[in-house]
Structure 1
Amino acid sequence: MNIYRELAPSPRTIMTPGPVEVDPRVLRAMSLPVLGQFDPEFTAIMNETMEMLRELFQTKNHWAYPVDGTSRSGIEAVLTSIIEPGDRVLIPIYGRFGHLLHEISDRCGAEVVTLEKEWGTVFEPQEIIDAIQNEKPAIVALVHGETSTGRVQPLEAIGKACRELDVLLVVDAVATIGGVPVKTDAWCLDAVIGGTQKCISVPAGMAPVTYNDRIEHKIAARKRVERGLRASGETDFPNARPQIQSNYLDLGQLQDYWSPARLNHHTEMTSMLYGLHEGLRILLAEGLPARFERHRLNERALVAGLEAMGMSLYGDPSCKMTVVTCVTIPDGIDGESVRAMLLNSFGIEIASSFGALKGRIWRIGTMGYSCSMKNVLHLLGAFEGALLRHGAKINAGAAIAAALDVYEGSAKTAAINA
């Protein structure tokens, strides 16, 4: 008889662009007793979660709820629910996850038009607006914050142009929601997808989404056509094939489930919803302005420490993400060996990168619960030690001093990191 060991994961300081450390209060909430999915106590939790998501997304949209599954499930739910075969979809790509939007849209039968920008930069909004006017897409799908390159795309002018031109704008805000302002209504964003495992600091497993009446109308129109075809006896759905391909990720069915009617669609992930509810409660209790300022402060301290050490940052600084810092690996240094030492000797995890940037940069996340003065100082000290052990020529002792200067110069530090 096999005797399997009890799980005892090692404690880590997680400084990647996701997943990040989870607030202990969230883990405690996830251990609470399970309720039935139609128990009034549970449906009250569902309703409160929707209210909190509206605050987080800064929207008055009726629809704001989590899709069960990791962040990609939310992206697929939105795109597969609104893209009909033949729809022209414009996708500006400036990193790895723009290519993901391309792949999903292509699988939906879209006519995909792409713009590409060198990694480490973003688009001038007018470049995208010009492409919208020239290509006349039905939908624009765009990443807000690219964790692969550490860059953030300005959205406000693009959103307003899409609204004027009657183009739907879908935004992947998985890496930014909860750490960087995402102003759904003010920026005229039609659908926004978030993620739990980054700045919200809840385990991966839910994808919060919000969308407005413009998106809902397209979903409803597709449902009407599908019902009409079925009623007429059509079974092969020729030509346009208007039906939504996924049952599980069908926003039309999901919104029925999250509506007061509670039409049964799936069994809700009870414990995950507890975790999301608690994560959102913690986030909103901190307050969005204070939370955004905490992320900015810890980023400034991290960057000051890295630069004082003599490290070079990757990418255009004018569009740097607050919550992800990309560091150029010095010539002659084995980046994976440094990462292994940080993990094995110091219990700290940072990330490598993808594609053309693999082996060229490290990516350091300062997200949610992981975004703290303690973690930044711990990382800088360990990073210095690991680099010295690998023979890198750095300014020993300068990093922590520079970071402390930033913290001590901020009158808000004590309150923000309390």
Structure 2
Amino acid sequence: MTRIAPLDPPARLLMGPGPISAYPSVLRAMSAPLVGQYDPFMTSAMGEVQALYREVWATGNDATLLVDGTSRAGIEAALVSLIRPGDRVLVPVFGRFGHLLAEIAERALAEVHTIEVEWGQVVPVSLIEEAIVRVEPTLLALVQGDTSTTMNQPLDEVGAICAKHGVLFYSDATASLGGNEFLADEWGLDAATAGLQKCLGGPSGSSPITLSDRAVEVIRTRTRVEAGIREEGDASASDFIRTNYFDLGMILDYWGPRRLNHHTEATSMLYAARECAAVLLNEGRSQVIERHRVAGAAMLAGVEGLGLGVFGDVAHKMNNVVAVVIPDGVPADAARQAVLDDFGIEIGTSFGPLHGRVWRIGTMGYNARKDAVLTTLAALEAVLRRFGASVPAGGGVEAAADVFRAAESGAGASGAVA
């Protein structure tokens, strides 16, 4: 029998829009021994994760937990569990992932209405309120940070508008949570989901979610099929949550005090999610956001120091990713591949109308640090020169280093990461 070689992934510095290089402590946590799903250690760890993510989300929501699956699993669980067939759902779209929310809502048999702005912009709050008044939706579904455009949609006024008009408010914070401010309770969120693989600094495969009491009530009032038996008084079949795995009512029962069996918890991902939260909270939530802000500002200064353009409204850019306009004459995919082949650094391409026009460079999680930013800029400069672009020698590294020096001499970014 031919011997199967051991798994040996290449060393990479993941500086794209996600996934990113995980915190070493998260990888160590994932190697911890497995226990049974009802072992006292396991149920205690689940309760601890719930408490930790209440702090991460800045919420008092009891219904704060994990959905096993990538960030899209959390999105789908939230939408299919909150939307009844025929509900009107409003989705403001300012990038690729707004279209995703609309698609999932359509698959949940919603009557979906969208409002769109040009990529590189965010949606004005006045436009959102006008659409809510016109459409009268049951649910507003809104991305916070869309990595396809790098824009960070302001949410702080939206919750009050939704509350005034009796609309549930859901946000996808996959790309933004942990690296940008997110205040679930203060901003009036009814539901929010994320993933580990971006600012939280873990692997893809677990989706933190938080639900307000109002959202839980909506989910609880939807009838379900349990063990193939409909209980007396059930509503029409159209009211059933048309999924088993993503039925948040059942998942809440699994995470709740009764621990009703629904699925087998992904133990190693639970450990990873716990450590992602621990890293953030031990360093301090505001300190981690500031670290992302400084690293993102340094990367922005660095690409501008190389004479490169930046896509979109920089005033509304996420802390953790920048879209770099590819210089004329530089082959987008070949240059990006050279950065990977020669330097072991991954930067991102883009979607749809931006494909071939911009590279997306991330500074998030473990990689929101000085050496990762400066190394990436040095590699980018070398590759651009190779493909004939005229860029200032050392201009990117020096501009970024200035930002770090300014931060370190003032109130500053936190220096240590786990």
TM-score under structure 1 normalisation? 0.96
Share of identical aligned residues, percent?
47
Q: 1:382 to 1:225 in 2, by over 3 A?
A: closer
The one-letter code of the counterpart of 2:303 is: L
Match of 2:127 in 1: 127
Structure 1: distance between partners of 2:413 and 2:293: 15
Q: Does 1:265 align with 2:262?
A: yes
Match of 2:340 in 1: 343
The one-letter code of the counterpart of 2:379 is: A
Structure 1: distance between partners of 2:259 and 2:230: 24
Match of 2:9 in 1: 9
The one-letter code of the counterpart of 1:344 is: D
Q: 1:286-319 deviations in whole A, cap 9, x for unaligned?
A: 0011101101111111111111110000001121
The one-letter code of the counterpart of 1:299 is: G
Q: Does 1:297 align with 2:294?
A: yes
Structure 2: distance between partners of 1:168 and 1:328: 37
Alpha-carbon shift at residue 417 of structure 1 (Å): 4.3
Match of 2:378 in 1: 381
Note if contact 1:373-1:417 (Cα within 8 Å) is conserved in structure 2.
Answer: no
Note if contact 2:35-2:42 (Cα within 8 Å) is conserved in structure 1.
Answer: yes
Note if contact 1:89-1:137 (Cα within 8 Å) is conserved in structure 2.
Answer: yes
Q: Does 1:101 align with 2:98?
A: no
Alpha-carbon shift at residue 223 of structure 1 (Å): 2.1
Match of 1:357 in 2: 354
SS of the residue corresponding to residue 272 of structure 2 reads helix
Note if contact 1:65-1:210 (Cα within 8 Å) is conserved in structure 2.
Answer: yes
Match of 1:177 in 2: 177
SS of the residue corresponding to residue 75 of structure 2 reads helix
Structure 1: distance between partners of 2:233 and 2:155: 44
Q: Does 1:88 align with 2:88?
A: yes
Match of 2:273 in 1: 276
Match of 1:143 in 2: 143
Structure 2: distance between partners of 1:378 and 1:109: 48
Alpha-carbon shift at residue 231 of structure 1 (Å): 3.9
The one-letter code of the counterpart of 2:373 is: V
Q: Does 1:368 align with 2:365?
A: yes
Gap runs ≥5 in structure 2: none
Residues 213-228 of structure 1: pairs in structure 2 closer than 5 A = 213-223=213-223
Q: Does 1:399 align with 2:376?
A: no
Structure 2: distance between partners of 1:89 and 1:175: 22
Q: 1:328-348 deviations in whole A, cap 9, x for unaligned?
A: 011111011111111000010
Alpha-carbon shift at residue 116 of structure 1 (Å): 0.8
The one-letter code of the counterpart of 2:54 is: R
Match of 2:244 in 1: 247
Note if contact 1:294-1:417 (Cα within 8 Å) is conserved in structure 2.
Answer: no
Note if contact 2:303-2:377 (Cα within 8 Å) is conserved in structure 1.
Answer: yes
Match of 1:72 in 2: 72
The one-letter code of the counterpart of 1:131 is: A
Structure 2: distance between partners of 1:224 and 1:345: 54
SS of the residue corresponding to residue 222 of structure 2 reads helix
Match of 2:415 in 1: 416
Match of 1:167 in 2: 167
Match of 1:112 in 2: 112
Q: 1:123-168 deviations in whole A, cap 9, x for unaligned?
A: 1111101110111000010100000000011111111100111100
Structure 2: distance between partners of 1:365 and 1:337: 19
Match of 2:31 in 1: 31
Note if contact 2:291-2:413 (Cα within 8 Å) is conserved in structure 1.
Answer: no
The one-letter code of the counterpart of 1:256 is: D
Match of 1:54 in 2: 54
Structure 2: distance between partners of 1:231 and 1:153: 42
Note if contact 2:91-2:141 (Cα within 8 Å) is conserved in structure 1.
Answer: yes
Gap runs ≥5 in structure 1: none
Q: 1:120 to 1:414 in 2, by over 3 A?
A: closer
Q: 1:414 to 1:54 in 2, by over 3 A?
A: closer
Note if contact 1:17-1:147 (Cα within 8 Å) is conserved in structure 2.
Answer: yes
Structure 1: distance between partners of 2:303 and 2:202: 28
SS of the residue corresponding to residue 409 of structure 1 reads helix
Structure 1: distance between partners of 2:283 and 2:380: 30
Q: 1:64 to 1:108 in 2, by over 3 A?
A: same
Alpha-carbon shift at residue 23 of structure 1 (Å): 1.1
Q: 1:270-293 deviations in whole A, cap 9, x for unaligned?
A: 111111111111110000111011
Alpha-carbon shift at residue 3 of structure 1 (Å): 2.4
The one-letter code of the counterpart of 1:348 is: I
The one-letter code of the counterpart of 2:330 is: I
TM-score under structure 2 normalisation? 0.96
Structure 2: distance between partners of 1:291 and 1:273: 21
Alpha-carbon shift at residue 413 of structure 1 (Å): 4.9
